[in-house]
Structure 1
Amino acid sequence: MSTVRPDLSIALFCLTPGGVALARRLRPHLKMSCFTSPALIEPGFIPFDGGFANALRQAFGQYDRLIVIGATGVTVRVLAPVLHDKLTDPAVVVLDEQGQFAISLLSGHVGGANQLARQLADILGGQAVITTATDVNNMAALDQLAGEIDGRIDNFRDSVKTVNQMLVSGKKVGIWWHPALVAQKERVDTRGFVPVEDLAALPELDGLVYISYHREMLRLNVPTFKLVPRRVVVGIGCRRGVDPVLVAQMLSAHLADNDLDPLALKAIGSVDLKRDEPALNQLARSSGVPFQLFPVSALSELEHLFPVSDFVRQTVGAGCVSQPVAWLLSGGNITGHTLKQQGVTMTLGVLA
């Protein structure tokens, strides 16, 4: 059975007694918030705030996945004013009251609606209805692959459109994995792609997707599309009020010195005393990554592994910050040296 990641938030909406009954069948299998009409409310359900349309539109901006037990047409009309694009819209799946069909309506690949529709069909003994071209042709898709490996692509929309069109048109699209990532390829769906082992001996191809978090840009005789898995984390210690421009420049330089693609950044972190540090919050926002914080006690437990500073201990409570934070973020896979400049320290890690 395909499953949805447990950390993804799901909201279910039901409008009729039959919908409420179907929601009851699903609740033991999925962690979700269930919304219904005030007239149908029962324990475990939340009443619509301002009616169905208003509640569904609010949830559209608050949840990762939406399930609507009702008519497809009604769902489309309600959501039309809040639709944005496939990169940011949540997944939307529509179910009929009997649970016979799970229709992947919106954000099938990036949002995960196709995956959710299959899971709902498995639970209910129904049929998943999926219309994305790569799926109906029994192929993987570039946006699906990006989602599976948490990857980023420059010019995401155009790259996905081009590669997926190649696949469904019978073109030969190769896929090459950087040696550091070869273990990943057995865990993801690459149906339709042509495996490439040696870049010096390419088979006949119309295009190539290459997967790497290093900075290299391949120059080949076919169109290439670089998919960058987000595997890089950075621990940062800094003095109060540090210049945001300095921090951003240091990170860019540190990534370059370690041959890491900026798109590979997955998270930045620091000690929880830096929760409100403007430069670090700004860096996280501009990089589009979470800012993760750790208590002093967690850093103190690891400081025997790293050089310590009495000044940092007096200021923070632990003898060092960037190294233990990078260690915690990466699961112990620190890479390169610690960069120190003008009251800022940075340490990189790479997730296995």
Structure 2
Amino acid sequence: MQAVQDFVRRYGGIMTAYIFLGCGIWMVGMIVLPQLLMLEKSLTYSDPAASARAAQIQANTDRLFVEITRAERAVGRLQTRIEALEAGEPDPEVQRGGATLLNPFAAGPRQPAEAATPETLRAEIVDLEAQIEGNRLVIAENDRNLEQARLAAAPRYGLANYRELVENDLNRSIFFKTIWASVLVTLICLVVCYPIAFYLAKAAPGEQAALLMLALIVPYWINEILRTFAWLMLLSDGGVINELLLVLGVIGEPIRWRQGNGAVIIGMTYAYILFMIFPIYNTIDTLDKNQIEAARDLGAPWWRIHLRVVIPHAKPGIAVGCIMTFMLAAGSYAVPLILGGTTSKWFTEVIYDAFNEGNDWGLGSAYAFTLLTTCIVFILVMMRLFKVSLQDIAK
């Protein structure tokens, strides 16, 4: 409460109300409600077999209605013929059928083998009416079965969608592969970015640091899709990397980077490397350089200086970098879709297929919520591992 009073005293009542209202709308509309809706969808399950049976019954009923309509039209034509024959007029069915503007390919007037009589036509009407009545009985039975199938296919709450992930060997293996590969991308980014961030913050001269920072940022002015396609050209069988290695004699035949997960991991490491560099750079930049000099003067080797002085100070930045890189890698769709081969499907692609191709929003929501929960668990693990709080991460 004291914090709110200080906020009002500093910014005024109107500005405070505006800020709190905006934050509340953003929190509820962009975070709470979408997650609650996704959770509700993930717990909603429909029996696919019952849904398929209901669709089949409905299609059969529609076909029977078409047959009834055709039979009723045939009965009407037969009655017209009967009236014409009883009035001593020619059979309309024999008169019809010659080549006309509407039917120029007709062979000519039809000449039945036996001349139709009112009695034979009435017999046909009886058969057609029996067929119509039989179809109506089947439709009535279909209506009862359709009601039961729809009740069985009605959405209900349960954990069936989550059980599907556990029981589906393929999707389960893709999920664990995605998590493992995202952790690997995070570790690679950490190993690559930490020395770069330290050099930019404490070792590089001002002008050189600015140039290096510009060199890191400029490539990211290009859209992520275009950068990914650039890596596709670099890592293809006849790409620049393979051609260079062949010329140098390092390899004897092109490396199939896209055969496994190598191309995806390389592309993600490049795509999200800045999200690791900047948080680490920001925290190391706040470290007093005199602490490093004091440790060096006391004879500490370089690895002990980093282990005992720099890394403990940079823990919030390392935690933020790992969290952001992991979440972006685990939730990436474009990079694995473009750089991945047939054997390197990402879990986000499975989620996309469930939503768009399978039109199964319950299953897609369950998969998406599982991935979200895994990312939250990763955040908590990073906070516990680096012993930082949310306040430290926010700083």
TM-score scaled by structure 2?
0.17
Higher relative contact order (CA 8 A, sep 6+): 2
Greater strand content:
1
TM-score scaled by structure 1?
0.18
Structure label with greater radius of gyration: 2
Greater helix content:
2
